Chains A and B, each alone.
Chain A
Amino acid sequence: MPETTHVDAKPGDVLLLVGTMKGAFVLSSDKNRKEWTVGGPYFPGRAIYALLHDQRQGRNRLWAAVNSSFWGSYLSTSENLGRNWTEPEAYNIKFPEGTETSLKQIWQLVTGHEDEPNSLFCGVEPAALFRSDDAGESWALVQGLYDHPHRPQWQPGGGGLCLHTILPDPENKQRMHIAISTGGVYRTDDGGETWNSRNVGVRAQFLPPEHRYPEFGQCVHKIVSHPSKPERLFLQNHWGLYKSEDSGDSWTDIANGVPSDFGFALEVDPNNADSAYIIPLESDEFRCTPEAKLRVYRTRNAGESWEPLTDGLPQENAFETVLRDGLSADDLRPAGIYFGTRNGKLFGSSDAGESWQAIAQGLPPVVCVKTSVVH
């Protein structure tokens, strides 16, 4: 096994949590975000699709979703930035008796509403949502979604049938959006008791033309919202780039001037509700950056137009793929934007995308990048 290194961080420092197909890494920098120290690999050999830094109520807790194709999936925590991780004797995310379902993989971890500092949510494959109200001591299946009449018709996409995105509404703790591949977007307005599909205007390119706009069943790759304007959502689809101004009740196409509307990665600028980032891929069959140029596209007018950001990124022979959780932003000013590629490269920008630097190379395939500014 490789030697494991560790990082330290003080208040104001920035952490990058990087999940790969073969372990997790924790990177630390001061607020300038130019020099990074790399810690890891943690869980060598395991696929880490979800990472989270929970700092609520004075915590300094890292969460990792640890997935093994041999030995199953569980959640692990560290209270010291990765030096030690829990290895629970009994796994903590399990489908309950009576569901006739078993967990295949954990895809997503998020904190709950600000007023509920012990709440956490976890998205899994096969598509389902779990909730904890005791800071992760125990977890329960969100039965209202599991019992949804659409569920038997959800189908696995290339990534499996996964619930990969969870967006608690910061202004309304009864409301949450989730996204499923392949099922689409669903929203609850009653704390998870009932869920309604929210896919009007989102196309399903893989269906015959007359069925291309179904009520549900779209292969939504990612949705994001802005904390100051949660009714606005952006959506990167399996073909299609969309925006909603009404909490997902309807969607409009905003693929204005991008080289492809196929892709996975999508993020908002925490400082600007009009600003979002994508990294387009050429097509479903050729899932690499178009023209072998690694370009991040940014909108600063909520999708009316997009501009390529290339300073510091390779513009030739760059056959890169950035997956659905591979792009993330910190909330400093200007925002730091970071992404990791399937070829194991990690890039960052400390000026909201104007310029980029290579932070790490030679990592295992990156599937998750999350950021945190240390309190």
Chain B
Amino acid sequence: MPEGTLPSQGGVSALTTFNIAGFLTDFTGGQTVVRLSKSPKTVGEAFSELWQIYPGLRDRVLTERGQVRLHVNVFLESENIKRKDLLETVLPDDCEITILPAVSGGDEIR
């Protein structure tokens, strides 16, 4: 599986890992795993770091109001983070965040 690694700074090991799947890898140069060399405190901070590396991801995951899109799910480890608190969710060390299209998506004719 392709991996993208932000060069670690001062020998600090990667602490937060993003798993990126499917369509979104068009905006990570094909990388399905992105390791941050920082240890963000919240999901929102981790996202900000991710957009710094791969800016094309931002508008696909977040609305222009900075909210996670309705049919995008964000998992911390194996837990689907509740949308209300999503960006403020506190991250443990050495965690994995996974971004996936929700099963609720899909287009309806209007």
Contacts and interface: CB of A to CB of B under 8 A. Distances in A.
Nearest to A49: B110
B11 interface: no
Interface string B67-110: 10111100000000000000000000000000001100111111
Contact of A21 (B58, B65, B109): B109
Interface stretch (A87-95, A126-134, A207-215, A329-337): A87-95
A69 B63 contact: no
B78 to A, nearest CB: 21
Contacts of B60: 71-72
B110 A91 contact: no
B56 A100 contact: no
Interface in A128-144: none
Contact of B69 (A67, A71, A158, A160): A71
Contact of A95 (B64, B67, B69, B107): B64
- Dominant secondary structure of chain A at its interface with chain B: loop
A70 interface: yes
A72 B106 contact: no
Contacts of B59: 72, 74, 89-91, 94
Interface in A233-267: none
Contacts of A160: 110
Given A70-B102, A103-B63, A342 B69 contact: no
A21 B58 CA distance: 24
A103 B72 contact: no
B106 A367 contact: no
A227 B29 CA distance: 47
Contacts of A281: none
Nearest to A93: B64
B110 A90 contact: no
A69 B109 contact: no
Contacts of A90: 55-56, 58-59
A159 B110 contact: yes
Interface string A82-105: 000001011100110000111100
A106 interface: no
B67 A102 contact: yes
Nearest to B102: A70
A102 B27 CA distance: 22
Given A71-B23, A89-B55, A89-B56, A47 B63 contact: no
A365 interface: yes
A364 to B, nearest CB: 9
Given A89-B55, A89-B56, A158 B110 contact: yes
Contacts of A72: 59-60, 63, 69
Nearest to B70: A69
Contacts of B65: 95, 100-102
B110 A70 contact: no
A70 B69 contact: yes
A158 B106 CA distance: 17
Contacts of A22: 107
Contacts of A91: 59, 64
Contacts of A94: 59, 64
Contacts of A71: 23-24, 60-61, 69, 72, 101
A67 B71 CA distance: 13
Nearest to A156: B110
A342 B101 CA distance: 26
Contacts of A103: 63-64
B107 A69 contact: yes
Given A47-B107, A71-B61, 10 more contacts: A21-B109, A69-B106, A70-B102, A71-B23, A90-B55, A102-B63, A102-B65, A160-B110, A342-B109, A365-B109
Q: 8 tightest A-B contacts by CB?
A: A102-B63, A159-B110, A94-B64, A91-B59, A89-B56, A71-B60, A70-B101, A70-B105
16 contacts: A21-B107, A68-B107, A69-B70, A70-B101, A71-B23, A72-B59, A72-B69, A89-B27, A89-B55, A94-B59, A95-B65, A102-B64, A103-B64, A342-B109, A365-B109, A367-B109
